[in-house]
Amino acid sequence: MAPLDTGIGAAVRRREDARFLTGRGTYTDDINRPGQAHAYILRSPHAHATIKKVDIKKAKSSPGVIAVYTGEDFKPINGVPCGWLVTGKNNKPMIEPKHPIIAEGKARHVGDPVAVVIAETKAEARDAAEKIDIDYGALPAVVDMKAALKGGGKSVHDAAPDNLCFDWELGDKAATDAAFAKAAHVTTLDLVNNRLVPNALEPRAAIGDYDKATGEHTLYTTSQNPHVIRLLMGAFVLGIPEHKLRVVSPDVGGGFGSKIYHYAEEALVTWAAKQLGRPVKWTADRSESFMSDAHGRDHVSHVELALDKDNKFLGFRFETLANMGAYLSTFAPCIPTYLHGTLLAGNYSTPAIHTNVKAVFTNTVPVDAYRGAGRPEATFMIERVIDKAARELKTDPAELRRKNYIKPEQFPYQTPVALMYDIGNYGATLDQVLKLSDPGGYAQRKAASKAKGKLRGRGIASYIEACGIAPSNVVGSLGARAGLYEAATVRVNPTGSVVVFTGSHSHGQGHETTFAQVVSSMLGIPMESIEISHGDTNRVPFGMGTYGSRSIAVGGTAIHNAVNKIIAKGKKIAAHMLEAAEADIEFKNGKFTVAGTDRSKAFGEIALAAYVPHKYPLETVEPGLDETAFYDPKNFTFPAGSYVCEVEVDPDTGVVEIQSFAAADDFGRIINPMIVEGQVHGGLAQGIGQALTEACVYDKNGQLQTGSFMDYCMPRAQDVPNFKVAHSVTACTHNPLGVKGCGEAGAIGAPPTVINAIVDALQEYGVEHIDMPATPHRVWKAIQDAKARKR
């Protein structure tokens, strides 16, 4: 490939940052359409209540009000669909209650929309909403999952009296039970994977626009996947055919999963714009985001690990309750199942694994994918129980892991939980992280901490991730209601510049840089000649969007394949122009050359010839240079790695400080090391947030107690250390770029690493486990409880 400094492997600075850092981005809320009206959504203050009567009279006559809608108005309209059907034990399909745009008869979580006011200004809409009089009949709330499953007359949906959405299992139960029966040692652990609020910097927003003359709808929305929204909202909710519905996701300020889903507000503004003949805009404020963006995680699990007398893993057994919230968000059922159960082999060659997941409805905000999505929950269970086993067996936690790793020569490796890992070298990243984290100096550092009155601990964890969920026919058989390919169009302009249209939306990942590097390398042209276009269904051929660290592996490969089509066509044109056989044309460094000669045509000359086809093989080749590829991967990709963290605990206050953090990852081939490092840093910061600071808390009445940053603690710069990051490479075997993806790794590997370190620090008290977030209060309490037990 071309020796350009903008090609694959170069640490090119992010092109998009110039506009983001100077405030010149265009986010959905920056867009204003002529004649635009504003929507304010009135949300339920109750976790669970019947809506007996809604009186909108006073609101309707409030200044500036254009319309007021309630659940009644949306009754004939479909609810927001779920994109994945999970089938449980005995072929029982999940229970899938309607998720109405505006609550019908019942509000099921604090924040459930109960009415909407559309007015000339947002303030007027809000003023009017205060005049809506709703007669609620408060119902007992379902909050705790264990209690929810007992039913007891408290159900979120009549269709699920005991609040069970599905009861799903994976793995060979008999074989796993047999493994436990012959185990020399069994380690068990009960743990919670804490519920998180995604908190993207940019709150969600949506503008509906309707052109009466053409009958075309346009939705501007903060989405990670505009085509998916077009499909879900157009086909399943509002019945608008694709050719009359354009979805635009302009600059989006972070998603972390929370902007994958089709939300009620999108359908609401699209529908209302047509009703009113005016554009309708809605922008969430932060308080609204807390109670309406899909939350993440929220599992309660029991974990068991069986080992033989040589400390080889014989079996893993898992029982998990997964919170779905009040309604099924777009991909909710898939997260604790196909993105979680299938990951439970981790990095280890354990012969028998069984998991049972019960998905539970509660009167809380819907729960769906959040950076990592199922995989952090899986990794946390595995890596915590292994750590506990190492302690019980008095063996080195790194070496216990190493002993049980799948060895490089075992790939491709079929796990007992459905996945086939193509390649990896877990020992290599373990060696790397150990080297980075100076185990030799640990005793001295621990002594130095002790001298300051602090307890030092060291934690290690390995992780595996499955990215680029695919192939479509397999996921289809598992219940996915969409394909999981990606599309790209590479359009070469007459003068040789290139526009790439990709379905992989960028909202922080740096696609505009990375994707351009791929094209720059392949075509041998500078980055400045390449534009990456995404986020508009009228421009991009199709796309499944950005989530699950799939962009480079799936979207990048689609671009790669489209570029190859361009090169193939270019060869035909060049052969004609150079009067040589097509088979003799080589393309290298931006030049088509007759092999073994100095006769060549530059890429730009071929582009011009394609659009000004004077000397051109018109009989056999169409003019133009514009190619599209759809790529459906053969398998997931499997990034993996190992992390080490050292913490200091202040036993007087329970405060935990991360002293060092080293991360060694294998992401396959790396396109832009700087962007990859940035993704690792961000993922680690979020993982540290989950481990130390973040907790979404509901009280027993279903009131959200952490509804603002006053109570919900995001990690701050001072909570995060300087990271030491390294990579090793085993190239993915089934995509041409050899890439795996890196977006979620940090958020997956960091939580168990940090918690393992904290538990290690608390060994003198005999603390065995601590739930996340390990806040000062919780750490202090764990110490007090352990002291009390000892007494």
d(CA 511, CA 534): 9
Question: Which one, 597 or 653, has the nearer CB to other proteins?
Answer: 653
Question: Which one, 1 or 713, has the nearer CB to other proteins?
Answer: 713
> Which of 683, 648, 643 is closest to 664 using CA atoms?
643
d(CA 350, CA 145): 30
d(CA 282, CA 274): 15
- Long-range pairs, 596-604, Cβ under 8 A, ≥24: 601/574, 601/577, 602/496, 603/496, 603/523, 603/524, 603/525, 603/570, 604/495, 604/496
Residue 777 lies near other proteins (rule: CB under 8 A): yes
Point out which span in 122-130, 334-342, 444-452, 761-769 binds other proteins (CB under 8 A).
Answer: 122-130
Instruction: Count CB-CB contacts under 10 A for residue 288.
Output: 19
Question: Which one, 644 or 782, has the nearer CB to other proteins?
Answer: 782
Interaction pattern, residues 69-108, with other proteins; x per rule: CB under 8 A = ----------------------------------------
**Length of the chain measured in residues:** 791
d(CA 426, CA 437): 17
Question: Which one, 287 or 628, has the nearer CB to other proteins?
Answer: 287
Residue 653 lies near other proteins (rule: CB under 8 A): yes
Point out which span in 26-34, 194-202, 288-296, 691-699 binds other proteins (CB under 8 A).
Answer: 691-699
Considering only residues 345 through 404, tell me which ones interact with other proteins, judged by CB under 8 A.
none
Ramachandran bin of 100, using left for φ above 0, alpha for ψ from -120 to 50, beta for the remaining angles: beta
Question: Which one, 126 or 173, has the nearer CB to other proteins?
Answer: 126
d(CA 109, CA 46): 7
Q: Which of 283, 521, 693, 753 binds other proteins (CB under 8 A)?
A: 693
Question: Which one, 201 or 710, has the nearer CB to other proteins?
Answer: 710
d(CA 172, CA 354): 6
Interaction pattern, residues 317-356, with other proteins; x per rule: CB under 8 A = ----------------------------------------
User: Which tokens go with 682?
Assistant: 């961000």
Q: What is the DSSP string of 466-505?
A: -BS---HHHHHHTTBSS---EEEEEEE-TTS-EEEEESS-
Question: Which one, 399 or 699, has the nearer CB to other proteins?
Answer: 699
Question: Which one, 121 or 410, has the nearer CB to other proteins?
Answer: 121
User: Which tokens go with 43?
Assistant: 């949300």
Point out which span in 331-339, 538-546, 652-660, 739-747 binds other proteins (CB under 8 A).
Answer: 652-660
Q: Which of 711, 736, 763, 766 binds other proteins (CB under 8 A)?
A: 711
Point out which span in 23-31, 123-131, 205-213, 297-305 binds other proteins (CB under 8 A).
Answer: 123-131
Residue 287 lies near other proteins (rule: CB under 8 A): yes
Considering only residues 9 through 68, tell me which ones interact with other proteins, judged by CB under 8 A.
none
Q: Which of 96, 112, 127, 486 binds other proteins (CB under 8 A)?
A: 127
Instruction: Please report how close the Cβ of residue 207 comes to other proteins at its closest, in angstroms.
Output: 23
d(CA 20, CA 253): 9
Point out which span in 37-45, 276-284, 663-671, 773-781 binds other proteins (CB under 8 A).
Answer: 773-781
Residue 701 lies near other proteins (rule: CB under 8 A): no
Question: Which one, 96 or 124, has the nearer CB to other proteins?
Answer: 124
Point out which span in 275-283, 344-352, 546-554, 772-780 binds other proteins (CB under 8 A).
Answer: 772-780
User: Which tokens go with 645?
Assistant: 């963290």
Q: Residue 120 carries which DSSP code? A: S
The radius of gyration of the chain's CA atoms, rounded to the nearest angstrom, is 27
> Which amino acid is present at 246?
R
Instruction: Please report how close the Cβ of residue 108 comes to other proteins at its closest, in angstroms.
Output: 23
Residue 780 lies near other proteins (rule: CB under 8 A): yes
Residue 697 lies near other proteins (rule: CB under 8 A): yes
Question: Which one, 262 or 778, has the nearer CB to other proteins?
Answer: 778
Residue 705 lies near other proteins (rule: CB under 8 A): yes
Ramachandran bin of 438, using left for φ above 0, alpha for ψ from -120 to 50, beta for the remaining angles: left
Peptide bond into 752 cis (omega under 30): no
Token look-up 């491709």 returns 412
Pairing of strands 133-138, 164-171: unpaired
Pairing of strands 185-193, 498-502: unpaired
Residue 713 lies near other proteins (rule: CB under 8 A): yes
Instruction: Please report how close the Cβ of residue 781 comes to other proteins at its closest, in angstroms.
Output: 7
Residue 474 lies near other proteins (rule: CB under 8 A): no
Instruction: Please report how close the Cβ of residue 653 comes to other proteins at its closest, in angstroms.
Output: 6
Question: Which one, 30 or 699, has the nearer CB to other proteins?
Answer: 699
d(CA 17, CA 675): 12
Point out which span in 39-47, 409-417, 554-562, 649-657 binds other proteins (CB under 8 A).
Answer: 649-657
- The H-assigned helical ranges of 260-354 are 264-276, 286-292
Q: Which of 343, 535, 775, 782 binds other proteins (CB under 8 A)?
A: 775
> Which amino acid is present at 460?
I
Question: Which one, 538 or 705, has the nearer CB to other proteins?
Answer: 705
Residue 789 lies near other proteins (rule: CB under 8 A): no
d(CA 545, CA 485): 9
d(CA 363, CA 416): 35
Residue 712 lies near other proteins (rule: CB under 8 A): yes
Residue 533 lies near other proteins (rule: CB under 8 A): no
Strand partners, 531: 499
Q: CB within 8 A of 508, min separation 6: which ones?
A: 252, 253, 254, 255, 682
What's the distance, CA 126 to chain centroid? 33
Q: How many residues contact other proteins, by CB under 8 A?
A: 23
Instruction: Please report how close the Cβ of residue 654 comes to other proteins at its closest, in angstroms.
Output: 8
21 phi and psi angles, rounded to 5 deg: -75, -20
Q: Answer yes or no: are the C-beta atoms of 459 and 656 closer than 8 Å.
A: no
Question: Which one, 17 or 711, has the nearer CB to other proteins?
Answer: 711
Q: Would the CA dihedral through 127, 129, 135, 138 be positive or negative? A: negative
Instruction: Please report how close the Cβ of residue 711 comes to other proteins at its closest, in angstroms.
Output: 5
Per CB under 8 A, residues contacting other proteins are: 123, 126-127, 130, 287, 652-654, 693, 695, 697, 705-706, 709-713, 775-777, 780-781
